[in-house]
Chains A and B, each alone.
Chain A
Amino acid sequence: EPEVTQTPSHQVTQMGQEVILRCVPISNHLYFYWYRQILGQKVEFLVSFYNNEISEKSEIFDDQFSVERPDGSNFTLKIRSTKLEDSAMYFCASSGGGRQTNYGYTFGSGTRLTVV
Chain B
Amino acid sequence: AQSVAQPEDQVNVAEGNPLTVKCTYSVSGNPYLFWYVQYPNRGLQFLLKYITGDNLVKGSYGFEAEFNKSQTSFHLKKPSALVSDSALYFCAVRDRLSGGYNKLIFGAGTRLAVHP
Contacts and interface: CB of A to CB of B under 8 A. Distances in A.
Interface of A: 30-31, 33, 35, 40-45, 48, 50, 55-56, 91, 93, 95, 97-98, 102-110
Interface of B: 32, 34, 36, 42-44, 46, 49, 51, 88, 90, 92, 94, 100-109
A31 B43 contact: no
Contact of A107 (B43, B100, B102): B43
A112 to B, nearest CB: 8
B101 A97 contact: yes
Contacts of B46: 104-107
A50 B98 CA distance: 14
A59 to B, nearest CB: 13
A103 B109 contact: no
B101 A55 contact: yes
Given A56-B101, A103-B32, 12 more contacts: A33-B103, A42-B109, A43-B44, A48-B101, A50-B100, A56-B102, A91-B43, A95-B101, A103-B51, A105-B46, A107-B43, A109-B42
Contacts of A55: 101
Contacts, number: 61
Contacts of B94: 103
Interface of A (DSSP majority class): strand
A109 B45 CA distance: 9
A54 to B, nearest CB: 10
Contacts of B100: 30-31, 50, 95, 97-98
Contact of A104 (B49, B103, B108): B49
Contacts of A91: 43-44
Which 8 pairs from chain A and chain B are nearest by CB?
A: A97-B100, A109-B43, A43-B106, A107-B44, A50-B101, A55-B101, A31-B101, A45-B103
